[in-house]
Structure 1
Amino acid sequence: MASQHRTEVQAVPEAIQAGMRLAHPAPGEEVVICGVAGCFPDSSDVYHLRDNLMNKVDMISDDNRRWKLDHPEIPQRTGKLLNVNKFDASFFGVHFKQAHTMDPMCRMLLEKTYEAIVDAGINPRHLKGQRIGVFIGACFSESEKTWFYEKLQKDGFGVTGCSRAMMANRISFWLGVNGPNYTVDSACSSSLYAMEHAYKSIRGGHCNAAIVGGCNLCLHPFVSLQFSRLGVLSPQGMCKAFDRDANGYARAEAICVIYLQKARDAKRVYATVIHAKTNCDGYKEQGITYPSGKVQQALLEEFYQECAISPTALDYIEAHGTGTKVGDPEELNALDHVFCKGRKTPLPIGTVKSNLGHSEPASGLCSIAKVLIAMETGIVPPNLHYYNPKDGVEALVEGRLKVVTEKCPMNVHLAGINSFGFGGANAHILLQWNRKNKINGGAPTDTIPRLVVASGRTEEAVDTILKDFESRSVDAEYVHLMHDLQSTEIPGHIYRGYTLLTQDERKLRSIQYFPGRKRPVWFVFTGMGSQWPGMGKALLNIPIFAAAIEKCQQALKPHGVDLFNIITSEDPHIFDNILNCFVGIAACQVGLVDIMKAAGIEADGIVGHSVGELGCSYMDGSFTAEQMVLAAYYRGRASVEAKLIQGLMAAVGLGAKEAKQLCPPDIEVACHNGPNSCTLSGPANSMKKFVQTLQQQGVFAKEVNCANIAYHSKYIAPASPLLLKYLRELIPHPKPRSTRWVSSSVPQSAWNTPLATHSSAEYHTNNLLSTVLFAEASQHIPANAITIEIAPHGLLQAILHRSLSKATTNIALTQRGHSNCTELLLTALGRLYELGLQPQLANLYPPIEYPVSRGTPMISPLIRWEHSEDWYVTSYKMQEKVKSGERYVMVSLEDEEMEYLSGHVIDGRNLFPAMGYIALVWESVGLMFGQLYTEVSVVFKNIQFHRATNIPKE
């Protein structure tokens, strides 16, 4: 009997089950939008679009940029992109002829793809060889007629330039990625279909990330004529979506690209793609172009069943909303049936088509761009041209659906987006905002100035990025994204620059041309004389430096040495104690080497001056940090414990050979510094007299603070047994010296002897006793090297500048008495970046947790290209045929293509250039033959200019 009362459970269709699996990923497997870039009608980037949307700018224009045609059925008003003739061909490795014959959409897709990738904080080089999918939504190539069916092309470039498959293929080719790759055409829903394909491809494991693009250009009026005769275009060129007077849409151009990743891999999250789904109207009695609200409703009902999310939970719907008489009611009624049942408040809706027109295959991504703007800013942009609700749409009349007509402050947690093709291909996606709020405006919790480096195709490109960072309060997450982006060289970027973001808003910045040549890097370790009171105080703000000093402090603690006091004290007598000098210099060098290593800056060669060779040992890996600082300590201890004469050392402006000839018998040349510089060492009284004598003769001579010890002379010999004993205990198993370490304490003739092959107690004891052969050792530094002086003060800069080739660049990391050595060090790293090194700057700062917070500034709007070249665009305007050898040309300085002529001024008159006439004749000849003028050989003879043409300002 009980069986008679069982309730039948309806089985869930297999397709719905598949959708449920897609919509419920494991943690970290969610698909997220992490980069976005685009150009839109009269909007050069996403920021420009944001401003135009928020300011209620009608982005539809009636100028003649594309055509001027008085045809009653063709609306003159369209949404037009700026600069469709521009392309940075050399950056993408596109041949001159290919660039001319490429569909402009393909050219712009490449640039916007790069921008979207870097917006995600990803260096495009890091994608090579990865399974990255490319999915492009596109319908018409209005260039293909010219390049496919006319005799303008003879070399096959037209096929590879205008084939819609190439719009996706060329992106994968340029990036070197191996995921799925194709162009999707479902008419007006193409880019959202591409989005759905990308989403499923990532969720299905076919690719790890995806590039999704949409593109549309309106180059020929007769395409618009077809749409007009289909009855979908507004004669006034206004998309009055949802309004009683809606009578069609305005056509528009757009190029938009987004970058998708799995959440676990993302550095930035604009939104999570909760789900994406498509269906098709199928057969309809009214005809293939008649929309089916019933099928749209079915799509939405299945969608939210698969998501297990109540439709009432949505905060906003970005509708397809073209403004057509049939399309709007069908969509609005479907939205009402699905989203308004049980909803307690009106559902805000809108459509970006009212602002910028209908960009057809690109429209879905334009809608996504608008929703991301709303999520990032917390403001839903207003619709235009909505005044009275559409007749017959009860949801609008009764207020269940509310069209956003003014800027609407609200947190858009969940937003649905519709996109429908005119053949019945429907798509819907659901986006969830990035929940991570920015704390304290992103301000760092530490006080370290942020060094930002940037590269670009032009000086302006670098300057634009640096200015953006300089114009904002420091945002640690934003800076970290840029650090990651610049962690590897971007090929083709021939300008580099840096700016240091300080708390007092001072600008420490520079931009330089970078020829692309890699140069050898040499570390130069300075010895005595580089110490100064307070030399390590500011550097302790850098965690890596502080950790290095702490490590050294622990090694010295058993010996009663207070290292922190030594390097931070501003007592002018702190370094009267030679032991303090040695351990202070050594510890600072350990810290600076650790910073260089953390920044990924490795030395091709190493050379040290005097006790600086201890730093060479640490850099070379033959000493630990503890061994280095203790070796310095024992060098000082042996100097103090030994019974030595009262000695003195002096720097002299003479070469070693000349100085040796002048020195009294009891004074020795201790250091060969450079061709015109050496250091003398000897008994104090004799040294004082000789220094005075040299000064009287006009020779530079200055006493050096050496704690009354005559180093690198016979007078230091009593300290040798003590130092050797201490070092043998410290270095029981000496390691070999590498070939990159050039010895300055052993002559080159003895480099292969047992004394010189290892960083041993004997080697460093010999360093104490022997003459410093720095001048000889520095001659091994290549002429084009970059030298980095590792010391508390750049003591050797003048010597290096005089001794080395003019092609050598010498960089000091610190400077005696500088008010903030942290700033100086970071500026030096910026300079090294300019010179072609790739410092890993993120390693120098406290880590941040990815993804970055909502509201982190975008990078894509900052990108500037090398756009000096104009490339062919097969627009109707450019395709006017020349008849009877006659051609009319309108020249106006208000035309963006001709405004550059304003610079051609002779005797105060703005004249049309002589070469301009010749170029026009050449172009006309090409048009007569139906060929590109650059492919037509011409010879001009007996040219006569009858008069000059003055170009009026207006």
Structure 2
Amino acid sequence: MVIYLGIYDMSQRMGRINNYQHFDKGFFGLMDQLVESTKPESFILLEVSYEAILDSGVNPQSLRGSNTGVYIGLTTYPHSDGYSPDVQPDVSGSIHNVIFKTVYNMKNLYASRISFANDFKGPSLVVDTACSSSLSALTLACNDILLGKADAAIVCGTHMLFEPLISQYLYEFGVCSPRGVSAVFDESADGFVRSEAVVAVFLQRRQDSHRMYAQIVSSRMNVDGRKTVGMLYPSADSQEQLMRETYTLSNIDPKRLTYFEAHATGTKVGDPQEVKAIYNAYCATRTTPLPLGAVKSNIGHSEGSSGLAAVNNFGIGGTNAHVLLEPNYKVETSNSFLIAENIPRIVNICGRTEEAVKYVMDFIQNNPKRVTNDFLALLAPVMRFVPCINSGGMPYRVN
């Protein structure tokens, strides 16, 4: 049997990750053979999780040995990785190399590798609920922190396209746009556009946080169960029920919602079902419009990591996830620049390269209106470096 597959445009409005082959393995204490045998997204996860901790104003070294959990959301496809066709039993090292490559590309190690490199002692797991994976992971992380099973958490979503045949299958199946256009909420919508994203957020209890972008008010998930229209068909009823439970059990008035970032893939089935759920759950008693947005219209659908790029999520198997966020309302005052403007300060900067140190120093020099008291307060603990046998270290320093 010969199967002919059409060729479709995959390039328009697609989020891509470039220069993924660059990785400072020495910084994370990983050996050459491991790096050469493992997919790049595993190492990008190491980088973005480390960056998320730094961005929170916490020095990652201070978390070593702590009860910090790691929760990774991703989508897997059967046999998409495959096995090496070059196993030669009579060639020394051939089988060993193939086994090494196969084992170190196991998806569960995506979480374990972050825990290993940072010496985290909390839960470490991978979650796959299809497109709702990363928000499902976020919900599990929130629950573990609330129950005291973790003191903090790294939550990640990852999706990179190394198997073009999977994309081709999805186009043939009719779920991807043959035009390569993610026409979210549009009458011309004809499917989603696959995209790449590796995302990480660092969760802490409010009293422990140094820098807060938003507070997770409530995070829940459910599943559609049995549906007469089939397992793969989205359910507006289940999504509506989840939304109502999310705000009702947290005593949140749905009219307080000022913006809804939708899952919205750009499919003729999924978008109407989601909008129906949103309308019934949030707009029945509203007297003002509720703005809807969808980042997929700009970057495409990053599948398992889409929840951390959006907020509402539902997976093809029926697992739905919903999160309510409250922004940090802290507003800059006239005193925000008091120390930075009037009192000379010694700012200690350290980095892995001269370029990295120069970048930070140039930022401080060229952005005086962004060097606030809070900025300096965050910079000081992050740059407080203690040599550690498990770290490549920060050899370049400047004041």
Give TM-score, length-normalised by structure 1.
Answer: 0.39
Any residues of structure 2 matched to 1:507-906 within 5 Å, and which? Answer: 830=399
2:38 counterpart residue number: 102
CA distance, structure 1, for counterparts of residue 95 and residue 208 of structure 2: 44
Give the alignment of 1:200-215 within 5 angstroms.
200-215=143-158
In structure 1, C-alpha distance between the alignment counterparts of 2:41 and 2:84, rounded to whole Å: 16
Question: The residue matched to 1:105 in structure 2 has which SS?
Answer: helix
Q: Measure, in 2, the Cα distance between the counterparts of 1:232 and 1:340.
A: 29
After superposition, the C-alpha distances for 1:899-950 in whole angstroms (9 at most, x for unaligned) are: xxxxxxxxxxxxxxxxxxxxxxxxxxxxxxxxxxxxxxxxxxxxxxxxxxxx
Task: Specify whether residues 431 and 224 from structure 1 end up closer, same or farther in structure 2 by C-alpha distance, changes over 3 A only.
Answer: same
For the 8 Å contact 2:10–2:193, the answer to whether it is kept is no
| Paired AA for residue 257 in structure 2 | L
Give the aligned residue type for 2:226.
Answer: Y
Distance 2:133 2:79 in 1: 19
Aligned AA for 2:109? M
Aligned match for 1:471, one of 366, 380, 391: 366
Counterpart contact for 1:103–1:143, Cα < 8 Å? no
Unpaired stretches in structure 2, ≥5 consecutive residues: 88-93
Matches of 1:189 and 1:430, distance apart in 2:
15
Show the counterpart of 2:345. 450
Q: Once the two structures are superposed, what CA deviation does each residue of 1:310-353 show, in whole Å capped at 9, x if it has no partner?
A: 11110100000000110000000110111111211110011110
Q: How does 1:124-273 map to 2 (within 5 A)?
A: 124-140=60-76, 145-147=81-83, 151=87, 154-155=96-97, 156-273=99-216
- Choose from 334, 339, 363 the match for 2:282: 339
The answer to whether residue 375 in structure 2 is matched with residue 433 in structure 1 is no
1:288 has 2:183 as partner: no
AA paired with 2:358? D
- Is 1:419 matched up with 2:361? no
Tell me how far 1:472 sits from its aligned partner.
1.5
Residues 432 and 233 of structure 1, relative CA distance in 2, 3 Å threshold:
same
Q: Partner of 1:76 in structure 2?
A: 10
- Separation of aligned partners in 2, 1:308 and 1:225: 45
The 3-state SS of whatever aligns with 2:126 is: strand
Q: SS state of the match for residue 277, structure 2? A: helix
Distance in 2 separating the partners of 1:149 and 1:481:
50
Q: Distance in 1 between matches of 2:215 and 2:362?
A: 31
Give the aligned residue type for 1:108. I
Q: Are residues 1:278 and 2:172 paired?
A: no
Aligned length: 381
Partner of 2:91: none
Is the Cα–Cα contact under 8 Å of residues 5 and 172 in structure 2 kept in the other structure?
A: no
> Deviation of residue 140 (structure 1)?
2.5
Letter in 1 for 2:126: T
Distance 1:337 1:441, change over 3 A: farther
Report % sequence identity: 38
Distance 1:143 1:466 in 2: 47
Letter in 2 for 1:442: S
Letter in 2 for 1:426: N
Paired residues of 2:182 and 2:192 also in contact (CA < 8 A) = yes
* Contact 1:120–1:259, Cα closer than 8 Å, also in 2: yes
Corresponding position: 1:460 with 2:355: yes
* Partner in structure 1 of residue 397 of structure 2: 497
SS across alignment from 2:342 = coil
Aligned residues of 1:103 and 1:141 also touching (Cα < 8 A): no
Task: Give the distance between the partners of 2:39 and 2:95, measured in 1 at CA.
Answer: 13
Cα distance between partner residues in 1 of 2:348 and 2:254: 46
Answer yes or no: is 1:353 the counterpart of 2:253. Answer: no
CA pair 488-337 structure 1, distance change in 2 beyond 3 A: same
Distance in 1 of aligned mates of 2:95 and 2:323: 42
> RCO greater where, 1 or 2, for CA within 8 Å and sep 6 or more?
2
Residue segments in structure 1 that go unaligned for 5+ positions in a row: 1-69, 368-416, 499-829, 831-954
Q: Deviations over 1:478-497 (max 9, x none)?
A: 01111111123364244423
2:262 aligned partner: 319
How far 1:230 sits from its partner (Å)? 2.8
TM-score by length of 2: 0.91
Q: Are the structure 2 counterparts of residues 282 and 224 from structure 1 closer, same or farther at C-alpha, using a change threshold of 3 Å?
A: same
Secondary structure of 1:288 counterpart = coil
In 2, Cα distance between equivalents of 1:147 and 1:90: 28
Instruction: State the one-letter code of the partner of 1:456.
Output: G
The answer to which of 77-86 and 445-454 deviates more is: 445-454
Is 1:482 paired with 2:379? yes
Match of 1:118? 54
C-alpha deviation, 1:303, in angstroms: 1.3
- Cα distance in 2 for partners of 1:469, 1:442 equals 15
Partner of 1:756: none
Alignment partners' CA distance in 2, 1:150 and 1:425: 39
- Alignment partners' CA distance in 1, 2:32 and 2:367: 40
Q: Which amino acid aligns with 1:91?
A: F
One-letter amino acid of the counterpart of residue 483, structure 1: A
Aligned partners of 1:143 and 1:439: how far apart in 2? 56
1-side partners of 2:138 and 2:84: how far apart?
29
Is 2:23 the partner of 1:87? yes
Amino acid at match of 1:468: F
Q: After the TM superposition, which residues 943-954 of structure 1 pair with which residues of structure 2 at under 5 Å, given as runs?
A: none
Matches within 5 A, 1:366-405: 366-367=309-310
User: How far does residue 145 in structure 1 lie from its aligned partner after superposition?
Assistant: 2.7
Alignment partners' CA distance in 1, 2:356 and 2:302: 28
Partner of 2:245: 302
Aligned to 2:90: none
How far residue 216 of structure 1 moved from its aligned partner, in angstroms, is 0.5
Distance in structure 1 (CA, Å) of the matches to 2:264 and 2:331:
32
Once the two structures are TM-superposed, the CA of residue 79 in structure 1 deviates from its matched residue by: 2.9
Give the alignment's Cα RMSD to 1 decimal: 2.0
Q: C-alpha distance in 2, partners of 1:150/1:242?
A: 47
